[in-house]
Amino acid sequence: MHSNLRTNPLKITRTELLPIYSYGCLNFTLRYSCFPLRSKWGGREGWMDEETGLYYYGMRYYAAWLCRFVSVDPLQFEYPELTPFQYASNRCITGIDLDGAEFYYSSSGKYLRQGSDKNSNNIYIEQKNIKEIFTFRPAIDRIARQVGKPTQTYESKYEIKEELSYIQLAPWISKAFEELKLGVKEGTGNNQTSPIKYLNYEGVQKNMRALKEEKPWCAAFVNYVLEESGYVGESINPLAVENWNGTWRIWERGYEIDKPSYGAIVTFGDTHMGFVVGISENGKKLLVLGGNQDDEVNVSEYTIKNNFKYFLPEGYIPKEFESNEEFLKQSYQGTVKNGGNTQ
């Protein structure tokens, strides 16, 4: 073995041999692994400063041995509940931090990430697609050419290429978060931020529309978000919760599921409805992005009850992990309010 190494030495580096701990710190005790750490930590191949040992994340540097960034989070004021030096919201197993700013999710080995707008709440799943390429083309017979008699032959080539694609989870949620950021609430007197735009929406039959904010508008908000996102809302009277959950009629362009799922519509009996964006740490409260929650669009938490029903729009098939409790505990990282008036 030693003789073979002398005649055929392997060119290796220190970092190619060293396994890593959970938060990316190199393990210097296991020096004899023959498997290269191609991605190093968090997919940061080639981004570790050899002199300092810090990983470069675009917006700041990460010290793996401290499990912390060495400078404050540029979005620290949006997440006051977290230390400004934390990595991936302190969830290194289920998440990675791609740029030092926002938290990007992963589940079952697939990365879930935001789009180009780092301040958005959109979540994407990254999928690897294997593409097989077979080519058949003319070639010159090399042996025949050597003896002076070139002939026409053919050669085939088989390749496997890996391509990435990104699929957004519950794409209608983008519009719901846009309305949240607009600050829609009662009493603004502004066409863009008044809930009248939901109650008087063109997708609602004229005889069902309303021009006063006093009318409950949680169902109108859900209908507006779906319709503006390219889905079909409730066609008879979308302003009535009873027409969504089946008390009066069944929402024909949706289907019921048996448990909370990211982006699903949830109905609270006949009294309220909104979109599921997460659950509380103890798993007993639902985080709902909805309208008419304390007279505004916000994310509020509500104790889960037996009369809650959950629906998804026709044509959308969720990934299995979208209803996973651990995923739902991490899927929303923003401000949460404590329920309140929904009428």
Q: pLDDT higher for 47 or 112? A: 47
CA dihedral 341, 325, 322, 292 (to 10 degrees): 0
Contact at 8 Å (CB) between 342 and 272? Answer: yes
User: For the ranges 122-126, 130-134, 200-204, which has the lowest average pLDDT?
Assistant: 130-134
Highest mean pLDDT among 2-11, 96-105, 233-242, 276-285: 276-285
Residue 341 pLDDT exceeds 70 = no
- Contacts with 118 (C-beta within 8 Å, 6 or more apart), sequence order: 99, 101, 102
Q: pLDDT higher for 47 or 190? A: 190
Residue 119 pLDDT exceeds 80 = no
Contact at 8 Å (CB) between 85 and 69? Answer: yes
198 alpha-carbon distance from chain centroid:
27
Q: Which two tokens stand for residue 307?
A: 């009369």
User: For the ranges 68-77, 97-106, 120-129, 157-166, which has the lowest average pLDDT?
Assistant: 97-106
